[in-house]
Structure 1
């Protein structure tokens, strides 16, 4: 969500306290003697852009690898992985088109990119956040469907359906984000001289609260509630065999357990991705609600630091998903190793030995059952 109150806002910086406040006040008086329009340069002016640069580096490399691996290996083109690729695409667009512009808000005293970019960046940020929410909801619904209706899902869960759903997600996200274009604009202000700020401007406080509540419901609360409902259905289903064994057939029973195990691992990965989204985006969503609806809210340096931390948390979400795939997605691990064998030579050698050992154990079990049968 593109926040309406910029980090350099004078109302927040006028309430500075602590060591940085003393430094900035001293710096302010010294600078005003030399140049009356020189603004104070706080620690976050370089620290936050540095953190954003790290997020961009990790996020762009990780999400690009995810898309590359899915497109390169045919066995990776599953319905779930199409949603994961769509999620990676939203993260890349967000990192490229939004994060650099937000990073400039901290070292610079005003918005320097003009009115068009003010609207475009805010709109695109809202679109990508909305698309992320709906994609996570679709992934959770997909996992719920395959868990509750395993046989029906074989007919309907196809990569083509996932691609169509992904296209609809983007169309819906563009439509739901259009109100941003009406309210985001360049506003004149004053902080150590006349400044231009890119922020939301509403006709009234009622309009502002209605719009913030709409954003909170559409881009956070409704998706989280829908996802929670999906997983509550899944919890009831987990543990029940997908294929009922007939006459205690060993192979059918083993296949049923294996299917449940694989689907359980994929579902756990999706749960972790959804939880990370809720945790990373929750603080900024709650802070903006508090800022708009709490009658006694007064901006100061403490609220500024909280808001900066909450923004960093939300932006970090775009770089953590590929790490989750690497640690929890067995198919992603195998595909990464195939794509970049020079990085996994030792591990590939170990896994091949483990595979040979497993095959030997399977042959031993098969021979054992044959001897027992005769």
Structure 2
């Protein structure tokens, strides 16, 4: 397959499957063109916004759910989600730099590691959403049993198992990501040349394990919950279900375009090259946007998070401003007394 001169996002540029050898000598002098293209500049700006909002937003959620709220099963779920998104956002500057310069400067290890982090985020997020859906379903179907069996310790064990599975499914990035030289630049790409079926196996396994199967489980859980709530007189607040529904919808909308274009890429000879490039770019950035949507949903849709946010952040600001005012008052009173003493000495 020919190299893509346009698509330079480090996580999902074209997968090279044909038998070829990357040139060892740099014949061409590469000049970045990203800042001259409207789409590239737009995605670059969006990436910076995603990094800033995602990094700060998830850090805030980690602080509130981890240190300001009582440790419960629900806060354990959401804290783990926030940690997953925070780790992903922390590595976004590598991708942003690569996109702006259209070259990979960080070596083979970081090429493999940054890609693994993004897939770790994808798998851990969807697995946690599945766990939360199953937990909600069990709580509605078997409230007495759930009241006695749902403990923070058990929730922590389940989260650890989910992370372990997510790490396992992220290993292909460590295997197939590679760096090479092309047209005077160093690129980070998917090298599937060792096995002709490896690309399809990896793409289909990610699609099934990271999208289709989890969503089937989530849909089943929510169907059961809706039927149960309709046939009973449960009067519990629907707020947690609205938050969960928003999280699931955001994940679906953000990740579906990426999976669609990755599947189309497997038969890249049957589709227009430029459409695949643009689709993969947009799909990748929509997937990245999911990492800052989650904290926004926590803050604006969760009553507990809003209350803790207001009580924690606003009280800190009030105390800081109050302390500054008290310090200023003490300084002025001391200055006045010193001036008074000085006038008596004179």
- Measured in 2, the distance between the counterparts of 1:225 and 1:157 equals 24
Tell me, yes or no, if structure 1 residue 265 matches structure 2 residue 255: no
Q: Deviations 1:52-103 (Å, cap 9, x if unpaired)?
A: 111111112211111211223343x221221011000000000002x11211
Tell me, yes or no, if structure 1 residue 288 matches structure 2 residue 281: no
The answer to whether the 8 Å contact 1:118/1:185 transfers is yes
**Aligned equivalent of 1:276:** 250
Tell me, yes or no, if structure 1 residue 134 matches structure 2 residue 127: yes
Tell me, yes or no, if structure 1 residue 85 matches structure 2 residue 79: yes
For 1:146-157, list aligned pairs within 5 A: 146-157=139-150
Superposition TM-score, scaled by structure 2 size: 0.78
Superposition RMSD in Å: 2.6
**Aligned equivalent of 1:189:** 182
Q: Deviations 1:151-191 (Å, cap 9, x if unpaired)?
A: 1110111222111111111111111221222211113322x
Secondary structure at the aligned position of 2:103 is classed as coil
1:286 Cα deviation (Å)?
Answer: 0.7
- Measured in 2, the distance between the counterparts of 1:5 and 1:131 equals 32
- Measured in 2, the distance between the counterparts of 1:74 and 1:196 equals 46
Tell me, yes or no, if structure 1 residue 168 matches structure 2 residue 161: yes
**Aligned equivalent of 1:371:** none
Between 281-290 and 60-69, report the one with greater CA deviation: 60-69
Q: Deviations 1:289-348 (Å, cap 9, x if unpaired)?
A: 111136512312x43333222222111110011111122211111111211235999xxx
**Aligned equivalent of 1:208:** 199
**1:61 pairs with 49, 56, 59, which one?**
56
**Aligned equivalent of 2:216:** 225
Aligned length: 296
**Aligned equivalent of 2:47:** 52
- Measured in 2, the distance between the counterparts of 1:151 and 1:293 equals 52
- Measured in 2, the distance between the counterparts of 1:327 and 1:7 equals 35
5+ unaligned residues in a row in structure 2: which ranges? Answer: 14-27, 319-346
Secondary structure at the aligned position of 1:129 is classed as helix
1:196 Cα deviation (Å)?
Answer: 2.2
Q: Deviations 1:193-252 (Å, cap 9, x if unpaired)?
A: x3222111112442211211111111111111111111111111113446xxxxxxxxxx
Between 197-206 and 131-140, report the one with greater CA deviation: 197-206
Quick one: structure 1 residues 298 and 205, their matched pair in 2 at CA, closer, same or farther if it must change by over 3 Å? farther
